[in-house]
Amino acid sequence: MPVLAISRRLISTSLMLVCQLTLICFLSAAGASASNDVKDISYWSFPDYTRVVVTLSDSPEFTRNRLSGPDRIYFDIKNSRITNEVKTTLPVGNGMLKSVRAGQFNDSTVRVVLDLEKVKDYKVMVLEDPMRMIVDIYGAKTARPDQAAAVPKKRIVIDPGHGGHDPGAVGPNKLYEKDVVLDIALKLRKILGEDPNIEVFLTRDRDVFIPLDQRTAIANGKNADLFVSVHANASPRRAAKGIETYFLNWTNDEEALKVAARENHISLKKMKRMNDERDVLEIIKGDLLRDNKRDESLKLANHIQLSMVKKLNSEYDDIVDLGVKQALFYVLLGAKMSSVLVEVSFISNPVEEKLLSKETYRGELARSIASGIASYVTSAPPSQPATGTRKTLAARH
Ligand SMILES: [Zn+2]
């Protein structure tokens, strides 16, 4: 996997964190400026795309600026200090970024500088738990060899959720979500791989932990056409069951917010706050709507959901269709292609946990997701957006 994660993760003890948070609360209450620690800077590099992640101890307040001669972007993070563990110069040299530099600019400001080479566009977002600033850098797009040859080859990234120290949801009989979804993803790769026009990549093919940001980075870095994240659902209500497929969008649906909070590893309270955040809304409006990604993701979700429900209903009794839904999943944020998150069944439901433990059921799930993807790929050209501005473009395809 062409992933370069080059700096160390700082592990704080919970005690230190509590002390830190207490101190921050105390200082804030006293009206003094709290110190936001810059704890880690790392990047993932791909041919046309780089993701830089700055991990902090608190929500960052920052300004940004782009300067020429030489071309660079810098971020001034207010009320912050850089910790000793941070590597302050990261040479990148991948054609887009020369390097990433960071330093204590003055007593209360950390400056992070991205020295640019050839950059088409960049985007910044802030996510929580851990608190981090994510900068996505896009290079000037080069045509893939398969595109040049005009072969209808689709490139698909399948993302089995969780892994390693993160088991995901755990069933009443101790079945782990991470094991179930990995097996489904491996089966899916085998099925899809039989089509010579489809290239399949997995974000993980073994029991290893991959951060959510890195999964999206892999899909963007592979220049994928489709991104499918595979998960198993869970609910405190044991009776909850069924299949649902999500695409990225804001939502007011309480159940959808709960699912996204669990998959994002954040509290429901934080999830609701994030749902209203300006940065996140900007990404959705600017990115998803501009490239028609939301409509295409919705379409992909519909094809997969329909295929799963239809196929499983013919083999099993009582398959519940919970439909296509929308919510803000970290793993889908910033993905440049049609992307969905599938919740294959409820691992928290004893009956569905038993089904999920079976080779045959996992095989049916993989086959039905694969045929949903295939029917999406071979379906009619992209639907026209509701606004008239792109009509001519859409009609040309
Ligand atoms: Zn999950």
CA pair distance 107, 190, nearest whole angstrom: 55
- Taking the centre of ligand 1 as the mean of its atom positions, its distance from the CA of residue 233, in whole angstroms, is 7
- Taking the centre of ligand 1 as the mean of its atom positions, its distance from the CA of residue 363, in whole angstroms, is 19
Cα–Cα nearest to 79, from 38, 109, 37: 109
Mind listing the pLDDT tens digit for each residue in 253-303?
A: 999 999 999 999 888 988 888 777 766 666 666 666 556 788 899 999 999
Cα–Cα nearest to 230, from 367, 375, 366, 378: 366
The structure tokens listed for 397 are 């395809």
pLDDT at 182: 98
Return residue ranges of the chain for CATH 2.60.40.3500: 14-138
- Taking the centre of ligand 1 as the mean of its atom positions, its distance from the CA of residue 177, in whole angstroms, is 7
Q: Are 244 and 305 in contact (CB under 8 A)?
A: yes
Q: Which residues surround ligand 1, an ion (CB under 5 A)?
A: 161, 168, 231, 263
Q: How many CB atoms lie within 10 A of CB 145?
A: 9
Own/partner pairs, 92-101, CB within 8 angstroms, 24+ separation? 92/43, 92/45, 92/50, 94/45, 94/47, 94/50, 95/47, 95/139, 96/48, 96/49, 96/50, 96/137, 96/138, 96/139, 97/43, 97/45, 97/50, 97/52, 97/137, 100/41, 100/43, 100/52
Give the Å distances, CA to CA, from 7 to 54, 55, 204, 219, 362: 11, 11, 20, 21, 37
- Taking the centre of ligand 1 as the mean of its atom positions, its distance from the CA of residue 230, in whole angstroms, is 7
CATH class of 14-138: mainly beta
148 contact partners, CB below 8 Å, separation of at least 6: none
What number of helices (H) and strands (E) belong to the chain?
11, 16
Pairing of strands 89-91, 49-56: unpaired
pLDDT at 147: 46
- Taking the centre of ligand 1 as the mean of its atom positions, its distance from the CA of residue 314, in whole angstroms, is 26
- Taking the centre of ligand 1 as the mean of its atom positions, its distance from the CA of residue 158, in whole angstroms, is 14
Which residues, given as ranges, of the chain have pLDDT below 70?
1-34, 141-152, 278-291, 380-397
pLDDT at 129: 77
- Taking the centre of ligand 1 as the mean of its atom positions, its distance from the CA of residue 100, in whole angstroms, is 33
- Taking the centre of ligand 1 as the mean of its atom positions, its distance from the CA of residue 330, in whole angstroms, is 12
- Taking the centre of ligand 1 as the mean of its atom positions, its distance from the CA of residue 317, in whole angstroms, is 24
Return residue ranges of the chain for CATH 3.40.630.40: 145-377
pLDDT at 120: 87
- Taking the centre of ligand 1 as the mean of its atom positions, its distance from the CA of residue 191, in whole angstroms, is 22
CATH architecture classification, 145-377: 3-Layer(aba) Sandwich (3.40)
pLDDT at 279: 66
- Taking the centre of ligand 1 as the mean of its atom positions, its distance from the CA of residue 170, in whole angstroms, is 10
CA pair distance 244, 242, nearest whole angstrom: 7
pLDDT at 383: 46
pLDDT at 109: 96
Q: How many CB atoms lie within 10 A of CB 305?
A: 24
Q: How many CB atoms lie within 10 A of CB 58?
A: 16
Q: In the chain, what is the straight-line distance between the N-terminal and C-terminal CA atoms, in Å?
A: 34
